[in-house]
A and B are shown apart, each in its own frame.
Chain A
Amino acid sequence: MLYKFKEVTNLFHKRLFQTQRLFYSLIAVCLVSTLSFGLTPYLGYKVVAYLLLVTVSLLAMVMDIWSVLAAAILSALIWDFFFIPPRFTFQVSSAEDALMLLMYFIVALVNGVLTFQIRKGQKEILQHEKEQNTLKFYNTLLNSLSHELRTPIATIIGASDNLLSNRKNISEENQKQLLDEISIASLRLNQQVENLLNMSRLESGIIQPKLDWCDAKEMVYAVISSLDEQLQHHKVEVKIKDEVPLFKLDVGLMEQVLYNLLYNASAYTPANSVIKISITCERDNLLMIVEDNGNGFPTDEINKVFDKFYRINPKQTKGTGLGLSIVKGFVEAHGGKISLKNVPSGGAIFTIEIPAETSYLNNLKNE
């Protein structure tokens, strides 16, 4: 309700220019006056003052301060001229009416100004809250980024410094270890940059899936083999039947989706865990399920998993917390949905459902 009201007032502020607002405010006062004029025999002129006051108060909720002040002055003059006896003069006959007129004028002004200021204050608070949130957001970003980027950079600088300045004192074996560290750090850095680039592609809204026919098996095994090293201590099981049709998807985006899910599973489940991937076709939708038998996610955090920068136990685990939000973004770019559940026996299960054109051409045997 409040939200609706805000929308209406915002509309007023955006759509109406200063002169227009002034015009409408004065018209409103005139309209109410005309109406009251017809009703004076039944109402009495004092009630009219209340009607006008209400009008000015309502105007204060939607109009700017100058229009409200103008409306307050105009309504006071109208009330004096048309309603206070003797009518059709600005004269006021009794001291009581004079006092009433003065009070009316003050109440209308104060009312208008106060309402306006409250609105202004609310706006400032909202603005401030927004700024605070943005600030918090960038702090989180900077914290995780500086850690994730600086750690490998520090390794590269340190190791190469050592090799450059102190080479003859370092054993052959240690030299090799330093070089290995440089290599690993570079790959890690590359991975983070890749995530950041993907994230900024998503944020800028320029992701347009380029759909092409995709052989599910081919895609899954290509991703698995690109993760050979990370998956060497895990067992990967693929379940895709030969009858599964070809799907029309953006292969590049879908590979990234699967890559991030497998990468996460390999990084956050204990060694020797089993990761199961299955792809089926359900009601013309691609249904991809990635399941592991690791520790699963904390139940109260499952809703936050796809949030940007979410990390399980931020103090201990590494990562920028971008991987799963990229997964979600890419799935949604296809018009699909992703959900996560914990498996009762332990582990996590990601379910992805994407509406996709299918082709059963691959089920025809030979030519």
Chain B
Amino acid sequence: MNNIEILIVDDEPQIRKLLRITLESNGFKVLEAATGKEGMIAAASHPPALIILDIGLPDESGHSILQKLREWYSKPIIMLSVQNDEENIVKALDNGANDYLTKPFRTGELLARIRSAIRSSAFEENNPVIICKALEIDLAARVVKKNSTILKLTTTEYALLILFAKNEGRVLTHQYLLKEIWGVGYQNQSQYLRVFVAQLRKKIEDDANHPKYIITESGVGYRFTSE
């Protein structure tokens, strides 16, 4: 991962320093900005491969910076927020953030999220086969195999799995999943989502109680992971 540039936008010098040391020691190149305005300028003058953006910035909220960035910047943005902030997290994800981390976070977790976000942004849209650990999804043939055995999925389960797999590493909010799979009228019908995620887990996970593919992000949504 040499020379991949990451922009950190956070007003706390301590957090910036911690992030810089963590990222640099893992081979990333780091740019720093202390305010939303600085962040916007830095991103525009030299677009990085990924942006880490704090929600609570002094001059302008991270939400509005995110919206402005998303008008032209399509690479991954990972949001930082304080604890117990589900509403803010969901809002940021719905506004186009790829992922989020709550402070305090473990650095191992941060690195995993960054790698996964960068990997999924390099996802080849035209790739007809997605391989993820023991799962093999053939989009052209509409066939899902686990350890080379074909899994029998219903139409909805298949649609859900494809949506997850195409967004590997990204947190998909309940609202987003309901809208994409069931349509706009179903956005408040989260019981469907619970049921189909549980069914899908039973078919693709080794142990549905300890999922390794579809991870629950409590109060926010789900994340499909290949880690």
Binding site for B on A (CB under 8 A): 186, 190, 194, 197, 210, 212-215, 217-219, 221-222, 225, 238, 246, 251-252, 255, 359, 361-362, 364, 366-367
- 18 A-B residue contacts at CB 8 Å? A197-B83, A212-B190, A212-B219, A213-B190, A213-B191, A215-B198, A217-B198, A218-B194, A218-B198, A218-B216, A222-B216, A246-B194, A359-B191, A362-B191, A362-B194, A366-B199, A367-B154, A367-B156
- B148 lies within 8 A of chain A by Cβ: no
8 residue pairs, one from A and one from B, having the closest CB atoms: A213-B191, A362-B195, A221-B209, A215-B194, A359-B191, A252-B219, A213-B190, A361-B191
Binding site for A on B (CB under 8 A): 83-84, 86, 104, 154-156, 174, 190-195, 197-199, 209-210, 216, 218-219
B193 to chain A, nearest CB (A): 8
**Chain A residue contacts of B174, Cβ below 8 A:** 212
Given A186-B104, A217-B209, A362-B198, CB of A222 within 8 Å of CB of B218? yes
B173 to chain A, nearest CB (A): 12
CA–CA, A218 to B215, complex, Å?
Answer: 10
CA–CA, A251 to B209, complex, Å?
Answer: 17
CA–CA, A186 to B104, complex, Å?
Answer: 10
**Chain B residue contacts of A361, Cβ below 8 A:** 191-192, 195
Given A194-B83, A252-B86, A255-B218, CB of A246 within 8 Å of CB of B154? no
Of A194, A197, A210, A213, most buried by chain B (CB within 10 Å of CB) is: A213
Decide: A213 and B155 in contact? CB cutoff 8 A: no
Chain B binding site: helix, strand, loop or mixed by DSSP?
Answer: helix
Decide: B194 and A214 in contact? CB cutoff 8 A: yes
Contact of B195 among A210, A212, A222, A246 (CB under 8 A): A246
CA–CA, A213 to B86, complex, Å?
Answer: 16
Decide: A197 and B209 in contact? CB cutoff 8 A: no
Other contacts beyond A194-B83, A361-B192, A366-B199: 8, CB < 8 A: A197-B84, A210-B219, A213-B194, A219-B218, A222-B218, A225-B210, A362-B198, A366-B154
**Chain B residue contacts of A225, Cβ below 8 A:** 210
Chain A binding site: helix, strand, loop or mixed by DSSP?
Answer: helix
**Chain A residue contacts of B83, Cβ below 8 A:** 194, 197
CA–CA, A254 to B156, complex, Å?
Answer: 29
CA–CA, A222 to B155, complex, Å?
Answer: 27
CA–CA, A194 to B104, complex, Å?
Answer: 11
CA–CA, A221 to B190, complex, Å?
Answer: 19
**Chain A residue contacts of B198, Cβ below 8 A:** 215, 217-218, 362
**Chain A residue contacts of B195, Cβ below 8 A:** 246, 361-362, 364
CA–CA, A197 to B103, complex, Å?
Answer: 14
**Chain A residue contacts of B219, Cβ below 8 A:** 210, 212, 251-252
Decide: A221 and B218 in contact? CB cutoff 8 A: no
CA–CA, A246 to B190, complex, Å?
Answer: 10
**Chain A residue contacts of B84, Cβ below 8 A:** 197, 252
CA–CA, A263 to B107, complex, Å?
Answer: 24
In the complex, the chain B residue whose C-beta lies closest to that of A226 is B218
A289 to chain B, nearest CB (A): 18
B49 to chain A, nearest CB (A): 30
CA–CA, A212 to B194, complex, Å?
Answer: 10
CA–CA, A323 to B216, complex, Å?
Answer: 24
In the complex, the chain B residue whose C-beta lies closest to that of A221 is B209
CA–CA, A276 to B209, complex, Å?
Answer: 16
B124 to chain A, nearest CB (A): 31
B217 to chain A, nearest CB (A): 10
**Chain A residue contacts of B199, Cβ below 8 A:** 366
CA–CA, A190 to B190, complex, Å?
Answer: 32
CA–CA, A217 to B191, complex, Å?
Answer: 14
**Chain B residue contacts of A212, Cβ below 8 A:** 174, 190, 219
Of B191, B194, B198, most buried by chain A (CB within 10 Å of CB) is: B191
**Chain B residue contacts of A190, Cβ below 8 A:** 104
**Chain A residue contacts of B193, Cβ below 8 A:** 213
CA–CA, A359 to B195, complex, Å?
Answer: 10
**Chain B residue contacts of A364, Cβ below 8 A:** 195
CA–CA, A359 to B193, complex, Å?
Answer: 12
CA–CA, A112 to B195, complex, Å?
Answer: 74
**Chain A residue contacts of B104, Cβ below 8 A:** 186, 190
A239 to chain B, nearest CB (A): 12
In the complex, the chain A residue whose C-beta lies closest to that of B188 is A212
CA–CA, A255 to B216, complex, Å?
Answer: 13
**Chain B residue contacts of A366, Cβ below 8 A:** 154, 199
Of B174, B195, B198, most buried by chain A (CB within 10 Å of CB) is: B195
A307 to chain B, nearest CB (A): 24
Contact of A367 among B155, B194, B216, B218 (CB under 8 A): B155
CA–CA, A194 to B154, complex, Å?
Answer: 42
In the complex, the chain B residue whose C-beta lies closest to that of A187 is B104
Decide: A221 and B194 in contact? CB cutoff 8 A: no
CA–CA, A215 to B222, complex, Å?
Answer: 13
A229 to chain B, nearest CB (A): 12
**Chain B residue contacts of A197, Cβ below 8 A:** 83-84
**Chain A residue contacts of B209, Cβ below 8 A:** 217, 221, 238
